[in-house]
Amino acid sequence: MNLENYFPILLFILVGIGVGVVPQVLGRVLAPHKPDTAKLSPYECGFEAFEDARMKFDVRYYLVAILFILFDLETAFFFPWGVAMRDLGWQGFVTMLVFIVEFIVGFWYIWKKGALDWE
């Protein structure tokens, strides 16, 4: 058994650990650490971060997150379609037009239902 065959794997693991750990260590050592009330305030979630984890909060957070994931995944289909447009021909074009119409109808539906309104 020759250990030279395992050197690329060991090197890959070391580089991966280095890419993951070195920036964190450098950020911790070099960056200033001065928390104040603005930095410790609620961020995008609407409630205090250091309270009881079992407290009730608005279900609209879930709704917005699910809609974001849904439309993010749908828009992710546009890039490969645009790249392969010439290879797909008219059948691919019509298929994507149907997809875009479904996308627009779904967006219009959630807009009319008020899922995007935030009060």
Q: What is the pLDDT of residues 2-33, one digit of tens each?
A: 778 889 999 999 999 999 999 999 999 998 88
Instruction: Output the pLDDT for position 86.
Output: 84
Question: Residues 6 or more apart from 74 whose CB is under 8 A from it?
Answer: 99, 103, 106
Instruction: Output the pLDDT for position 22.
Output: 94
The domains located in the chain, with CATH, are: 58-119 (1.20.58.1610)
Tens-place pLDDT, residues 56-108: 767 777 888 888 888 888 888 888 888 888 888 889 889 889 988 988 898 89
CA-nearest of 99, 109, 110, 101 to 76 is 99
Instruction: Output the pLDDT for position 67.
Output: 83
Question: Rounded to two decimals, what is the model's pTM?
Answer: 0.47
User: What CA–CA distance (Å, rounded) separates 75 from 83?
Assistant: 14
Instruction: Output the pLDDT for position 53.
Output: 67
User: Using an 8 Å Cβ cutoff, are 67 and 59 in contact?
Assistant: no
Instruction: Output the pLDDT for position 52.
Output: 67
Instruction: Output the pLDDT for position 42.
Output: 66
